[in-house]
Amino acid sequence: MYFLLARLFQATVVMLCVALVGFLVFQFVGDPVLSLVGQETTVEDREALRESLGLNDPILVQYARYVMNAVQGDFGISYSFNRDVSEMIADRLPATVELVLLSGVFSLLLAIPAGIYTGIRRKGGIAQTIMTISIIGVSIPSFLLGILLILVFSVWLNWLPSFGRGDLATVFGLRSSLFTWNGLSHALMPAAVLCLFQLGVILRLIRAEMLEVLRTDYIRFAWARGLPGKRVYFGHALKNTLVPVVTAVGLQLSSLFAFSIITELVFQWPGMGSLLLHAIGQSDIPLLAAYLIFVGLVFTISNLIVDGVYVLIDPRIRHGAL
């Protein structure tokens, strides 16, 4: 319990720091007054506006206000859309979550068995092939993979649509493109692009951990006791490879969000990533800062979940030994 409380405290500190960065970006890039007023506004009017926006308050007061607003989900008004930033993020979020979930689930389903297999039969032909593919998977830039997929499956073969999100359908109150064939066919290529990189990273990690564990004395002892391979590999070895793997998967979640930026651009997927690119192009600082805080939040929450899983899988943490 103490472990989780300490982590919760740390997470709060991390979020405050992320909010500080977001706030500083706000503070030092561009002048919000200049972006609100026209040429004819007098100096007095500007000063009055500055005062009414609270821009003359001490910086700590402004930071506290920013954090309080952010906690309540208020990130200000987007400069370029003139809309509530949190509303815009809520609009775009489902599309990105869709992609992230689809590719995350696929990469885990493929990476775990493949990683265990290549760890056990590392000299075999299939394992070598998997490793070669995985090194290309981690090397190929996702935008290049996306373009190649479009070239092959949309331009040459004309099998899959190359852009957009397709038809949406509502199931159990969730509105998503994953519930229609048309929507799925749109999501297939972007999800595959997002999936391949994660797949390579997680697969290689599981393989390395497996190799490390299979060398240890307790595994040798398990063999000596005459246990069948299935029990040695899955009962004894696999459990001890889990801690670093869970850490990596947790870390990968925020990078899935980051890489979705590129995938969304290539496939013109209307998610958070394309929103961020728009914000950068237009120097839309409130949107930029909100995105930053959002990704920080995703990371912090996924890390907390990872810590919770640690408690479940590692008895040393449960008994306060670490």
Partner 1 sequence: MFDRIRSDFWYELLNSPVTIVSAIIIVLMIIGCTFAPIFAPHTPFDPATISIMDNNMPPAWVDGADHRFLLGTDLQGRDVLSAMLYGGRISLLVGIGAVALSVVIGMAVGLLAGYFGGMTDAVLMRIAEIQFAFPPILIALLFNGILKASLPADVFAQAAVPIMILAIGLAGWVQFARIVRASTLVQRNQDYVTACRAIGLPTLTIIARHITPNILGPVLVLAMLQIAVAIVTEATLSFLGLGTPLTEPSLGALIQIGSQYLFSGIWWVVIFPGIMLLLMVVAFNLVADWVRDYLNPRLR
Give the footprint of partner 1 on this chain (CB under 8 A): 14, 17-18, 25, 28-30, 135-136, 138-144, 147-148, 150-151, 155, 208, 211, 215, 254-255, 257-259, 261-262, 265-266, 276-277, 279-281, 283, 285, 288, 292, 295-296, 299-300, 303
CA separation, residue 235 to residues 92, 120, 222 (Å)? 43, 14, 10
Comparing CB distances to partner 1, the nearer of 36 and 135 is 135
Asked whether 316 and 23 are in contact (CB, 8 A), the reply is no
Comparing CB distances to partner 1, the nearer of 187 and 272 is 272
Comparing CB distances to partner 1, the nearer of 178 and 237 is 237
> Smallest gap, in angstroms, from Cβ of residue 115 to partner 1?
15
Comparing CB distances to partner 1, the nearer of 128 and 175 is 128
Asked whether 153 and 171 are in contact (CB, 8 A), the reply is no
Comparing CB distances to partner 1, the nearer of 55 and 277 is 277
> Smallest gap, in angstroms, from Cβ of residue 123 to partner 1?
11
> Smallest gap, in angstroms, from Cβ of residue 10 to partner 1?
9
> Smallest gap, in angstroms, from Cβ of residue 145 to partner 1?
9
Tokens for 224, please give them.
């000596």
Residue 175, H or E segment: strand 174-176
Q: Smallest Cα–Cα separation from 263: which of 135, 149, 139? A: 149
What angle, rounded to 10 degrees, do the helices at 272-281 and 238-266 form? 50
CA 223, CA 231: separation in Å to the nearest integer?
A: 10
Burial of 206 (0-12, 13-18, 19+ CB in 10 A): buried
> Smallest gap, in angstroms, from Cβ of residue 49 to partner 1?
21
Comparing CB distances to partner 1, the nearer of 176 and 200 is 200
CA 132, CA 112: separation in Å to the nearest integer?
A: 17
Question: How far from chain centre, in Å, is Cα 67?
Answer: 23
> Smallest gap, in angstroms, from Cβ of residue 23 to partner 1?
13
Comparing CB distances to partner 1, the nearer of 105 and 258 is 258
Q: Output Rg (C-alpha) for the chain, integer angstroms.
A: 24
> Smallest gap, in angstroms, from Cβ of residue 16 to partner 1?
10
